[in-house]
Amino acid sequence: MKNQQLAETVKGWLLEAGELIKQRMKNSLVVSTKSHRSDLVTNVDKEVQQFLVERIEHFYSNDHILAEEDGRNYLPNMDGRVWIIDPIDGTLNFVFQRENFAIMVGIYEEGIGQLGFLYDVVKEELYWGGVDIGVFCNDRKLLSPKNLGAKDGLWGMNGAIYAQNIGNVQKIGKESMGVRIIGSAGIEFISLLKGNTVGYISNLYPWDYAAGMILVNEFGFKGSFLDGSQIDFQSQEKFIVATDVAYGEVMKNVVNF
């Protein structure tokens, strides 16, 4: 019940943030590079993060925030209630494609996922839900996808990990129905929720997996770092999430990391 009320509040903020993004997309973006020439941030990433941070700090002033931009990208622990935010996940897609990106928000309490939100702004599809709620796309409740094996579906992957065969992941590509590279963790988690893919492997920061993990957990997916250790919201790590069956198969028989 408490989660449901909070979910309604956050959904309202995200729809507002989506409108802001659509407005800004009518004009040129101000694009800056971060660590290298294809690690981009735009004025819109920063503006959306500020929009969300201001509301959280106003209405939930005791909560903590971990977010991609503006020096908010580290928390020493997950004590209390923590909001984990990626204002625009898939910034390269946002800049070059003007689609295939998502706003992501995950809410944790004492390290336990409560509510997750993945908003595909261009498609106007807001995936949301969590503990005691299940998973919805806008107003439509989703059914859990089939618990398929690793070979029986498509996999999402990060381009560099796939090209360099890190952890032996090319074997997964060869033995499964194939690999897709979308370039946004948020859109990849949405693919898992819809049953479009059976697993996803990438190199992710906490804000890339925080929201999505809460939602796929509701459907029994398994996720961890690629070495099998538990996700810890601390730094960028190689990451895998898949159906329960597919996760077990590839971690036992394929992944060597």
- According to CB under 8 A, which residues from 230 to 249 bind its own copies? none
Q: How far is CA 7 from the centre of its chain?
A: 17
* Cα 246 to Cα 174: distance, rounded to the nearest angstrom: 14
Q: Can you say how many angstroms the Cα of residue 107 is from the centroid of all Cα atoms in its chain?
A: 12
> Which residue reads 């939100």 in tokens?
117
Residue 162 contacts residue 173 (beta carbons within 8 Å): yes
Q: Does 33 bind its own copies (CB under 8 A)?
A: no
Query: What binding mask, one character per residue, do residues 165-204 give for its own copies by CB under 8 A, x or -?
Result: x----x--x--xxxxxxxx-------x--xxxx-------
Q: How many residues form the binding site for its own copies (CB under 8 A)?
A: 28
- Provide the 10 A C-beta neighbour count for residue 98: 12
- Which 3 state secondary structure label does DSSP give 88? strand
- Is 153 near its own copies (CB under 8 A)? yes
* Selected range binding its own copies among 101-109, 126-134, 156-164, 199-207, rule: CB under 8 A: 156-164
Site for its own copies (CB under 8 A): which residue of 23, 32, 33, 38?
38
Show the binding pattern over residues 82-121: x = contacts its own copies (CB under 8 A), - = does not: ----------xx--xxxx----------------------
* CA proximity to 115, closest of 11, 7, 207: 7
Stretch that binds its own copies, among 63-71, 126-134, 153-161, 216-224 (CB under 8 A): 153-161
Whole-number CA gyration radius for the chain? 17
CB closer to its own copies out of 141 and 174: 174
> Which tokens go with 163?
């090209």
Q: Which residues bind its own copies (CB under 8 A)?
A: 38, 92-93, 96-99, 153-154, 159, 162-163, 165, 170, 173, 176-183, 191, 194-197
